[in-house]
Amino acid sequence: MAEAPPPIPLKPAGFGWRSLAFLADCLPLCFVAQYLADRTAGVEALAGRTALEAWVNKAWQAYLKVAQTGNADPFLKVLEVPPEAVGDWFVHAGIVSMLTFTLGLGLQEIFFEGRTLGKAIVNLRVIDVRTGEPPTFAGCILRSAWKAMFLWFPSPIIGILSLVNFHLPLFRRDNRAIHDLTTFTQVVDGRASR
């Protein structure tokens, strides 16, 4: 008896649609992360946020003076010395954002069988390339953790990796990024995969 032929590969999602879906996922999660960071911040982190807001206001006022006088020196001096306490806010907000994105994206993919809000809008879904089914719990969480790290982890090496990750689907026939390759997943066109 002859073996069944291998399944026809599903149509990979296009780069533009993937990017649009990710943007649609990120915007609501950014608001949620900001809200949670504000509510969970300690005294040091709140002091850092206040210092950051004062520094941004001071830089804006210096910039307006540049527009009036044409002298950029005061503006550049403000930019040279950000407040020291800002680091506490950035660390806190970064950790909260990474957790929010990991759980927010991962849980959506788990409960909506490979879809997130953004993927549902543009009719995409994530599949496990080995089975053709929605990814496993671990696959969804790990995939989302990769994406959260690429967005929120402050490191030059991670910054370079995130640029590679963003552009990698342009150079692969299956349009898979690093977070797809490491979790054996693929984003496919939802219309063609029914």
Residue 192 has pLDDT above 60, yes or no: no
Distance CA 157, CA 160 (A): 5
Half-sphere exposure of 27 (CA within 13 A, CB side): 7
| Claim: this prediction has a pTM higher than 0.85 | no
For residue 126, pLDDT over 80 is answered with yes
Q: What is the pLDDT of residues 45-98, one digit of tens each?
A: 999 999 889 888 988 988 888 888 888 888 888 887 777 778 889 899 999 999
CA-based nearest residue to 127, from 175, 65, 164, 162: 175
The residue behind tokens 């020196």 is 73
- Kindly tell me if the per-residue pLDDT of 10 is higher than 90: no
